[in-house]
A and B are shown apart, each in its own frame.
Chain A
Amino acid sequence: MSASLSTRRPAEVLLVEDNMGDILLTREGFKRSSFPVNLHHVENGEDCLAFLKKEGPFADAPSPDLILLDLNMPVMDGREVLKTLVADPVFRHLPVVVLTTSANEQDVQEMYDLRCSTYIVKPLDFEEFQRIIQVIAEYWFTVATLPGTA
């Protein structure tokens, strides 16, 4: 009956994030959630695109079910990544959750204008962060129907 992901296999999640602290905390957050997740991570926008295209070191990379995208990164930031993805017919179906420190209204507006799936401001408190990861997983892996899983 259920078209959700959780019942079939671990979810493939690509975290695009340059800060090691946030990477570790996110990994910890998923580890403590009740869902099996394969968390992959790249540190900038260029690597993100390479990962999706399975180029170079990412030749064996899986196609992600969900992208968690930070905005402020070196080399190629999150805004450019999202711009590129929505313009690409191969990738524009991918759900992108913007997960960022920026509570800037302008950023929120811009990302939704680019049709991001959700915009979440990272909280400082780990308990709160843990809750948010749990909600993301629960929603995308048990409630939402993702493309290619129907």
Chain B
Amino acid sequence: MLPIITKRLTSLVFVLFSLTFITFMVGHLAPGDPIQFMLGGRYDPARYQQLRHSYGLDQPLFLQYWSYVTGLLHGDLGKSFQFAGRPVVEILAPGIAVSLQLGVAALIVSTLVGVPAGVAAALNHNRLSDRAIMFVMLALFSIPSFVLIPILRALNFMLYDRGLPSLPVAQWGTPEQAVLPVFVLAAASAGYVARLTRSSMLEVLSQDYIRTAYSKGLPARIVNVRHALRNALLPVVTVLGPSTAFLVTGAFVVETIFSIPGVGYISVQSIGQRDYPVIQATTLLLGFAVVLTNLVTDLLYSVLDPRIRVA
């Protein structure tokens, strides 16, 4: 176990370095002088120098990178351009909680839908129900979220027109407001989870020990749950990593269209205002989230499946 952790941590350091370095360089290469932009018409050489110094832009590049990284380690994501002097952390903090709720809810929903769907499809291998389930899951996986959203909203309007209860399509906070965005965000990874569960389950069902279990006279339900599902779920754990990556990109779209004040929404707003430090911080934050999920997934997998440790 220890060598795996060491190896993973070494590569983690490299990945985190890449994230911070590329983000820093992109920000550094950004066209235009942010200080001049900030001062606008009230340009004054003394004030300009003072601000340049306060943002640390008068230092050599590698020192700037160094103070950027040490700042990050102290939880300092820089200062916003748009709201002069206000720390980025302060701007993003409320969004993090919202995005986390949205993301975790979507992850749970996609697992709760995807795993049973995959199992059901595998147990009915090549029958009509298998085809039907997999068709729906493939559709969920491949319909882009911004196509799914108008479809759902149109359905919602139809409910409203018939006087049936309909769902709110903007803002965040109440459970009703969460239904549509969580569904849209969960759709793609639910499809992915279902496909993976199905193929993993099919593989396990063809193993010798399943036949052994049947020949012992165990009922199908016990074999399916205790022998097959338990082992089939192992590879499904690995889906956590890619799913989080889906959710991160999806969050930008879903938060923007549903006006949910999460990290993605704040970031898109800052794009309009050319508030580079906020955009950079969002990229880093979401990148970190995915990297850490990947690490946890790998470690979890090697805990659950001892065979991996040997390899």
| A and B together in one complex | no
Chain A residues within CB distance 8 Å of chain B = none
